[in-house]
Amino acid sequence: MDVIDLFSGCGGLSLGFLKEGFTVKKAVEFDEKIANTYMMNHPEVDMIVDDIRNIDQSGVFEIGDADVIIGGPPCQGFSMAGARIREGFIDDPRNYLFKHYFNVVKTVKPKVFIMENVKGIMTMQNGKIFEEIQRIFQDADMLDGKPYHLYYRVVKAVEFGIPQKRERMIIIGTTIDNVDVEKLWDLTIENMTKEYPTFFNKVTVEDAIGNMPSPTIDGKIANPEAMTDYQRYLASSNDILSNHTKTNHSKLAVDRMSRVDNGQNFTALKEEINSVHSGSYGRLCWDEQAPTITTRFDTPAGGRFIHPCENRTLTPREAARIQSFPDDFIFYGNKTTICKTIGNAVPPKISFFLAKLVRKIMEMEDK
């Protein structure tokens, strides 16, 4: 079954579908540096590096190109057209990211689409944006007579055996009639538990990164022995792992970090910290989950990202572990690009579950 990945980033969503045996035919990513990481890890996929505005109706996509479309249009584009929402939402230029996701779905007419977004999309503009998104995908006139049945759910990463407290909205649309997605969701959990008995088990920071040695200047380390089920799930057969890069913190930052205990943050320093983040200078605890990995996980002032026992922030490889990326997935680019790539990604363990779920949805077509 063929997949198109829109707003693909480095391919967190693609990874799960590839693992489940789907074929990702095309991916679209605007940021060429992040797209490079996708291409280096998935050279078999046709990566289109462009603004989706330029390609959604340019002939790049045709009806039947894919059975499944996946992707998360960044919510920064969502706005309202005032009282004229019904006429104006899809045409408001500030909503172009969503509009062009919709246009690709309308053109290709996949049997299933998955849209991933921030949990807060439900409450933006008092819920009216979310209502409008639902309305548009169920409007037969706007979709050439082929509307979608919709299902949505807020998913918590911790419930998928991922050691971070990330929450995301998943919207699933299908043209297949009489699909009980709630029932298939539970069945997917049941079946995956049989196949991977520890998949949904609670995972801590220590379970994820406890076997990692000290970071190196070039980020290359000997592949450490996997000590937990989670580490074994992500383990690579390679002799060397990459991206375990040491961050050069200032003396002031190191001094501050040395004065913060597990579970504490900047308030323990009793000094003025120039940060808007409430978790600034926060130190992780081995026996808990991390907060959401963001694009600033390498910065002490960026949130609660200080290593549980070393006076440094997480390395890209550690952050990737907490995001559930396999150890053989390599991130390319400078420090800023790599942090952005990892922080914005969909955790691959969630996408693997979604791929299993989509397979079950597709099987309902023949019943």
pLDDT(328) > 60: yes
Domain residue limits, the chain: 2-197+348-366
Q: Are 364 and 176 in contact (CB under 8 A)?
A: yes
Q: Are 209 and 297 in contact (CB under 8 A)?
A: no
SS3 at position 150:
strand
pLDDT(59) > 80: yes
For 183-201, what is the mean pLDDT?
97
Read off the pTM.
Answer: 0.94
**CATH hierarchy code of domain 2-197+348-366:** 3.40.50.150
- Binning the chain into helix, strand and coil, the percentages to the nearest 5 are 40, 15, 45
Among residues 10, 75, 285, 309, which one is catalytic?
75
Characterise 349 by phi-psi region: left (phi > 0), alpha (psi -120 to 50), beta (else): alpha
Grade residue 80 by pLDDT with cuts at 50, 70 and 90. low
Lowest mean pLDDT among 75-79, 139-143, 287-291, 331-335: 75-79
Q: Which residues contact 270 (CB under 8 A, 6 or more apart)?
A: none
Q: Are 70 and 111 in contact (CB under 8 A)?
A: no
Grade residue 275 by pLDDT with cuts at 50, 70 and 90. low
| Tokens (6 digits) for 303 | 């949130």
Grade residue 87 by pLDDT with cuts at 50, 70 and 90. low
| Tokens (6 digits) for 47 | 């990566």
Question: What's the pLDDT score for residue 150?
Answer: 97
For 274-281, what is the mean pLDDT?
77
pLDDT in tens, 158-168: 999 999 999 99
Grade residue 83 by pLDDT with cuts at 50, 70 and 90. very low
CA distances from 189 to 35, 160, 200, 203 (A): 32, 9, 8, 17
Question: From CA 155, how far away is CA 168, in angstroms rounded?
Answer: 5
User: CB pairs under 8 A, 24+ apart, for 123-127?
Assistant: 124/75, 124/78, 125/78, 125/80
Q: Is 10 a residue of the active site?
A: no
Question: What's the pLDDT score for residue 43?
Answer: 96
For 295-314, what is the mean pLDDT?
95
Question: From CA 294, how far away is CA 338, in angstroms rounded?
Answer: 11
pLDDT in tens, 171-184: 999 999 999 999 99
In the chain, how long is the greatest CA-to-CA distance?
Answer: 65
For 85-109, what is the mean pLDDT?
81
Question: What's the pLDDT score for residue 44?
Answer: 96
Q: In the 8-state DSSP scheme, what is residue 247? A: P
CA distances from 63 to 18, 53, 59, 103, 110 (A): 22, 18, 10, 11, 8
Give the rounded percent of residues in the chain with a pLDDT score beyond 70: 97
Question: From CA 247, how far away is CA 10, in angstroms rounded?
Answer: 22
Q: Which residues contact 107 (CB under 8 A, 6 or more apart)?
A: 56, 57, 61, 62, 63
For 62-80, what is the mean pLDDT?
87
Characterise 76 by phi-psi region: left (phi > 0), alpha (psi -120 to 50), beta (else): alpha
SS3 at position 323:
coil
Lowest mean pLDDT among 23-27, 85-89, 235-239: 85-89
